């Protein structure tokens, strides 16, 4: 008899209330092994891969790709691999009670309807935790109860403090891995593929780098590898029938007055962007300070850099960071009636992705060189476009920078990213006449626009910031 368990919407982070099923990576009644990516779930800013904690299969999948479900909602029914009747599956579904907490990244990935009766086992010998060990009270209690020697534990908490999770990890018996096949090494930067696709490719001798992935962000899936295998003229009796692919929801086509257009629901990330920016424009009194800045010296200095050159945006991040140190009244966040003034420049940089705008943060940019900022931004931009940013990498920040110069945009005004107090919008550098010590010259000029929260920043503060920023850009050796 199969053991059935609910597969529910997980909860990552305190503020998560819902998630969107981006794609199911396995189908109904398709066996999978531990470590297989089961589904991709989109949250506000990132896409999370949910891996199987044990072997099994889905006997029923209810959640549809592209649909959003609250935390704890029933998405599918898991089996340990055994057969289950439709009546048994229906009984579990009808008796399921949603959980508000879902499961976290350290849980088993399922929510059991009721705990099994505990087995009677010999109680471990209690130990006494020595004094002077950096350990939480809960971890101390668990270590003494489970008989764990904490002197051999390397704590994962702040300052090396031992947590209850560290104690449980040591107390948990090690599982003997079951070798199911030889897989080639997968160094960083290798082909983006699912574990099942890698296993089949290794067994069948298929070069993954030669395949065009059909999954999200070009991920190579099982179906891509199977399609690359040599076709057999006659089916054999041993050949297992392949399950029919799950139909993907098609965009709804609506006809109005003879014109046709596609209707697609907003993604979870797009809905978050819409909500936050609407609140920003409705609740924050914006005012704008605009200025033209000559960029010929900055561009000339960048052209003289040997080797890999930082981008213009990297220089602008550095300039903003130093200008914020000169005018700290702009380096703030606004929380209700409180103004949080920051001692370091944490610059949020707008990065366009296929799913929407993401603002990863360059922390302590005032203490970094332009080259260091360039290296940090490359890593952050790559993670943003692949949906791999951690929440702490895009949450917070004391100032924002949005640069549309790469798209040929000459000038624009940006919406403040709350709770920050200001954002700088940068257009492309285009030739314009300027007064250069009484002479008229035509040089590349940047059009800058600073959006400020008038609740916390006065016009004079915005003006001083723009003056400091212009001085840094026009005298780039100061950077």
Tell me the sheet residues that pair with 220. Answer: 193
CA nearest 454: which of 274, 289, 278? 289
Taking residue 178's Cβ as centre, other Cβ atoms within 10 Å add up to: 8
CA nearest 41: which of 15, 8, 79, 78? 8
CA nearest 9: which of 1, 21, 25, 27? 21
Which of 168, 335, 340, 454 is catalytic? The answer is: 454
The burial of 432, by beta-carbon neighbours within 10 Å (0-12 exposed, 13-18 middle, 19 or more buried), is given as middle
Q: H or E stretch including 199?
A: helix 195-204
Q: What's the DSSP call for residue 215?
A: S
**How far apart, in Å, are the Cα atoms of 366 and each of 199, 298, 394?**
47, 18, 18
Whole-angstrom Cα distance, residue 61 to residue 68? 15
Whole-angstrom Cα distance, residue 255 to residue 456? 49
Buried b (16+ CB within 10 A) or exposed e, 221-260: bbbbbeebeeeeeeeeeeeeeeeeeeeeeeeeeeeeeeee
Q: Is 168 a catalytic residue?
A: no
Residue holding tokens 């940089």? 349
CA dihedral for 406, 412, 418, 419, sign (positive or negative): positive
Q: What does the CA dihedral 397, 399, 401, 402 come to, rounded to 10 degrees? A: 80
The structure tokens listed for 387 are 């949906």
∠ Cα 63 68 74 (to 5°): 40
Tell me if 214 sits within 8 A of 25, measured CB to CB. Answer: no
Residue holding tokens 């531990």? 34
Buried b (16+ CB within 10 A) or exposed e, 267-279: bbbbbebeeeeee
Secondary structure of residue 48 in the 3-state scheme: strand
336: region left, alpha or beta (phi > 0 left; psi from -120 to 50 alpha)? left
CA dihedral for 24, 67, 418, 13, sign (positive or negative): negative
Taking residue 8's Cβ as centre, other Cβ atoms within 10 Å add up to: 24
Residues with a catalytic annotation lie at: 454
């Amino acid at each position: 008899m199969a053991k059935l368990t609910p597969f529910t919407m997980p909860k990552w982070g305190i503020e998560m209330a819902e998630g969107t099923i981006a794609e199911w990576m396995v189908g109904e009644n398709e066996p999978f092994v531990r470590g297989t990516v089961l589904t991709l779930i989109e949250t506000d800013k990132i896409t999370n891969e949910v891996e199987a904690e044990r072997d099994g299969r889905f006997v029923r999948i209810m959640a549809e790709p592209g649909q959003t479900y609250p935390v704890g909602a029933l998405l599918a029914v898991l089996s340990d691999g055994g057969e289950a009747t439709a009546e048994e599956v229906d009984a579990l579904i009808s008796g399921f009670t949603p959980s508000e907490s879902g499961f976290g990244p350290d849980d088993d990935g399922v929510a059991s309807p009721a705990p099994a009766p505990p087995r009677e086992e010999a109680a471990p010998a209690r130990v006494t935790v020595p004094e002077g060990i950096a350990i939480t009270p809960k971890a101390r209690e668990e270590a003494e109860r489970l008989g764990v020697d904490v002197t051999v534990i390397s704590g994962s908490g702040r300052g090396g403090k031992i947590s209850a999770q560290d104690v449980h990890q040591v107390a948990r018996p090690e599982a003997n891995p079951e070798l199911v096949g030889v897989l080639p090494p997968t160094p960083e930067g290798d082909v983006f593929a699912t574990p099942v696709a890698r296993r089949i490719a290794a067994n069948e001798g298929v070069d993954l780098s030669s395949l065009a992935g059909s999954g999200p962000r070009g991920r190579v899936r099982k179906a891509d590898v199977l399609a690359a295998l040599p076709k057999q003229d006659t089916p054999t009796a041993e050949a297992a029938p392949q399950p029919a692919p799950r139909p993907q929801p098609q965009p709804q086509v609506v006809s109005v007055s003879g014109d046709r257009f596609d209707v697609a629901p907003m993604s979870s990330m797009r809905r978050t962007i819409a909500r936050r920016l609407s609140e920003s424009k409705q609740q924050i009194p914006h005012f704008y300070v605009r200025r033209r800045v000559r960029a010929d010296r900055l561009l000339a200095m960048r052209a003289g850099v040997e080797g890999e050159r930082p981008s213009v945006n990297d220089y602008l991040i550095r300039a903003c960071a130093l200008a914020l140190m000169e005018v700290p009244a702009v380096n703030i966040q606004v929380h209700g009636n409180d103004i949080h003034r920051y001692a370091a420049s944490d610059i949020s940089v707008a990065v366009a992705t296929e799913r929407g705008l993401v603002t990863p943060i360059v922390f302590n940019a005032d203490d970094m060189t332009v080259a260091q900022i360039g290296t940090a931004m490359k890593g952050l931009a790559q993670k943003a476009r692949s949906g791999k940013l951690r929440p702490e990498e895009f949450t917070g920040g004391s100032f924002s920078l949005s640069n549309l110069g790469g798209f040929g945009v000459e000038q624009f005004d940006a919406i403040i990213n709350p709770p920050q107090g200001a954002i700088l919008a940068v257009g492309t550098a285009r030739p314009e006449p300027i007064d250069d010590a009484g002479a008229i010259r035509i040089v590349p000029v940047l059009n800058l626009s600073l959006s400020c929260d008038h609740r916390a920043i006065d016009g004079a503060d915005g003006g001083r910031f723009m003056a400091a920023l212009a001085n840094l850009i026009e005298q780039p050796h100061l950077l």
